[in-house]
């Protein structure tokens, strides 16, 4: 493989939570891998896929999440290499709730008392190793009932749609604007034998012509949630519930204000470290 890649080296505090926030925020772009070092994070992307200003993006992330000092260091052109190989070997099964374990196909564990969701993440956000995914699944367990229809906005790996199917939801649609989600998401639905229950689509919410979903899921970032909130609510049934994450503790009041303006009320909030997930319904 002769693709030329860009290695953006970004100075980030060694604090694990801060590095997690930065890498998660950058995952909205087309980065294919991350490697940490003592200074910060190396972020890898195909040169032909990069059309942004990295310094402006870093400034926006820093301001949005009120992060301490992060700074662009250098950009280096390199040949492709397999950044994922060692990373994949580090992935182990993880229990995300009393019921569910998330595991890669090469190591599903031996706990037969749990329901296993098999996810081969390929460096995509939504593996079960991030707090927001775990929080979403825990709230889903509280509110999804058999035969509920579900819309998963920003489906990524398809992990939440797959979890919904294993909770016996029906008519599940996962939608994402990133092309990689189509292959990765469909592949993961097949691994979990739920491909008949889940329809993965690429595009904005305009590609979802259905409405009256019982449950809408959105594990995306605050600004994207705010931008899409009206469009998502148009797809929600009158008695439906919407579950959000990708949110920091500091985002809660902002999301609550936006929901109140739209005549929705928050019915549950879960927290893990600096991340939260929220469930809401119409008043």
- Domains in the chain, start-ordered, CATH in brackets? 4-86 (3.30.70), 130-282 (3.40.50.150)
pLDDT at 2: 67
What does the pLDDT look like over 7-50, one tens digit per residue? Answer: 999 988 777 778 888 988 888 888 888 887 767 888 999 999 89
What does the pLDDT look like over 48-73, one tens digit per residue? Answer: 989 999 999 999 999 888 887 788 88
Give the burial string for 133-161 (b: 16+ CB within 10 Å, else e). bbbbbbbbeebbeeebbbbbbbbbbbbbb
Task: Please enumerate in sequence order all residues whose Cβ is within 8 A of that of 122, keeping only pairs 6 or more positions apart, or say none.
Answer: 84, 157, 180, 184
What does the pLDDT look like over 208-267, one tens digit per residue? Answer: 999 999 999 999 888 889 999 999 999 999 999 999 998 889 899 999 999 999 999 999
pLDDT at 194: 97
Nearest Cα neighbor of 20 from 41, 1, 46 is 41
Task: Please enumerate in sequence order all residues whose Cβ is within 8 A of that of 257, keeping only pairs 6 or more positions apart, or say none.
Answer: none
Residues 200, 185: contact at Cβ < 8 Å? Answer: yes
pLDDT at 124: 42
Mean pLDDT of the 110-128 span: 71
Q: 């500091």: which residue's tokens?
A: 250
pTM, full prediction? 0.73
pLDDT at 125: 45
Task: Please enumerate in sequence order all residues whose Cβ is within 8 A of that of 72, keeping only pairs 6 or more positions apart, or say none.
Answer: 8, 9, 10, 11, 54, 55, 58
Strand partners, 242: 216, 280
Strand partners, 44: 7, 33
DSSP characters for 58-125?
A: HHHHHHHTT-S--EEEEEEEEE---THHHHHHT---EE-SSSEEEE-TT---S-TTSEEEE---TT-S
pLDDT at 217: 98
Mean pLDDT of the 135-149 span: 96
pLDDT at 158: 92
What does the pLDDT look like over 100-117, one tens digit per residue? Answer: 999 888 888 877 888 999
SS3 string, 217-250, reads EEECCHHHHHHHHHHHHHCEEEEEEEEEEEEEHH
What does the pLDDT look like over 165-197, one tens digit per residue? Answer: 999 999 999 999 877 778 888 999 999 999 999
CB neighbours (10 Å) of residue 2?
5
């Amino acid at each position: 493989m002769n693709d030329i890649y860009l290695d953006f080296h970004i100075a980030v505090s060694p604090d694990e939570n801060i590095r997690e926030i930065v890498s998660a925020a950058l995952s909205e772009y087309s980065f294919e891998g991350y490697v940490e070092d003592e200074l910060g994070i190396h972020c890898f992307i195909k040169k032909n896929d990069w059309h942004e200003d990295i310094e402006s993006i870093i400034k926006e992330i820093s301001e949005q999440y009120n992060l301490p000092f992060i700074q662009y260091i250098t950009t280096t052109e390199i040949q492709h290499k397999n950044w994922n190989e060692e990373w994949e070997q580090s992935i182990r099964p993880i229990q995300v709730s009393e019921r569910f374990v998330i595991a890669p196909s090469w190591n599903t564990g031996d706990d037969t008392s749990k329901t296993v969701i098999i996810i081969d993440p390929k460096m995509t956000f939504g593996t079960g190793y991030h707090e927001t995914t775990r929080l979403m699944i825990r709230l889903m367990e509280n509110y999804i009932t058999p035969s509920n229809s579900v819309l998963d906005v920003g489906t990524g790996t398809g992990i939440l749609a797959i979890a919904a199917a294993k909770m016996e939801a029906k008519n599940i649609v996962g939608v994402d604007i990133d092309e990689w989600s189509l292959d990765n998401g469909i592949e993961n639905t097949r691994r979990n034998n739920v491909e008949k229950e889940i329809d993965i689509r690429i595009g904005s919410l305009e590609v979802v012509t259905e409405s009256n979903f019982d449950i809408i899921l959105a594990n995306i970032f605050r600004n994207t949630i705010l931008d899409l909130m009206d469009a998502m609510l148009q797809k929600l049934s009158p008695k439906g519930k919407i579950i959000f994450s990708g949110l920091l503790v500091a985002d809660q009041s902002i999301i609550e204000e936006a929901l109140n303006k739209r005549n929705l009320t928050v019915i549950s909030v879960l927290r893990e470290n600096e991340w939260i997930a929220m469930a809401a319904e119409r008043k």
